[in-house]
Amino acid sequence: MNKVISSIKEAIRGIKDGDTLIVGGFGLCGIPEHLIQGLRDRGVRDLTIVSNNCGVDDWGLGLLLENRQIRKMIASYIGENKIFEQQVLREEIEVELVPQGTLAERIRAGGAGIPAFYTATGVGTDVAKGKEHQTFNGRTYILEEAIVGDYALVKAWKADPLGNLVYRKTARNFNPLAAAAGKITVAEVEELVGPGRLDPDQIHTPGVYVQNVLLGNHYQKRIERLVTARA
């Protein structure tokens, strides 16, 4: 089955107002930048976005914030985004902050078909408010629900037409988890190779999780925060 599609428009045409999207990436590393720009241009609204953070003011998911397309953000880190800060203070966006490891596990559980799990992370803090508590072996845990997206948008290094994906170094981050947790997963890739060209032992996301593959080009290598040493 050839899962390669020819345009960004085709890749995101099924996404509608109010959908929940799980978006791979960490900071600006490994983000599906062309798909995000396509969403900005299409103008879908009231989105719930699940991602580690929300990009920067003028790049990544920050583009959707600037265009006021996000209704709710589920993330572990607000980051360097001033637009995000302003919208939170003005109560223009709903935010659910989740400990980073818990967020990763909620997404992983969603992809594995596990509806919920217990974790000790957050016990005794605001994170635990309103959540079920249980004691196991003398320690208190809280119940966290899995996350499943209507769509998952991920960025990979290489793919074949069957949708098998390979990520490159730290760009792997949240992408494999996101890819498994979307009802429909769209993978934006830097290189497309023929069937059988990927070493099976090197594949990070099997094609069974991926519905569409989009070949991107002209990627920007931005730095979220540039720090230089004194001369």
Domain ranges of the chain: 18-97+148-215
What is the C-alpha to C-alpha distance for residues 184 and 37, in angstroms, rounded to an integer? 19
What is the C-alpha to C-alpha distance for residues 133 and 123, in angstroms, rounded to an integer? 9
* Tokens 């080009």 sit on residue: 217
Tokens of 136: 């196991």
Homologous superfamily of domain range 18-97+148-215: Glutaconate Coenzyme A-transferase (3.40.1080.10)
Which of 5, 3, 2, 8 lies closest to 218, judged by CA?
8
Which of 18, 147, 176, 170 lies closest to 76, judged by CA?
147
One-letter amino acid of 207: G
- pLDDT per residue as tens, the chain (231 positions): 899 999 999 999 999 999 999 999 998 999 999 999 999 999 999 999 999 999 888 899 999 999 999 999 999 987 778 899 899 999 999 999 999 999 999 999 999 999 999 999 999 999 999 999 999 999 999 999 999 999 999 999 999 999 999 999 999 999 999 999 999 999 999 999 999 999 999 999 999 999 999 999 988 888 777 788 886
Which of 14, 45, 28 lies closest to 152, judged by CA?
14
Q: What share of the chain is helix, strand, coil (3-state, %, to 5)?
A: 25, 30, 45
* CB proximity list for 58: less than 8 A, separation 6 or greater: 66
Contact 164, 196 (CB under 8 A): no
Contact 50, 23 (CB under 8 A): yes
The pLDDT tens digits for 9-66 are 999 999 999 999 999 999 899 999 999 999 999 999 999 999 999 988 889 999 999 9
> What pTM did the predictor assign?
0.94
**CA distances to 71, 152, 174 from 170, in Å:** 29, 19, 9
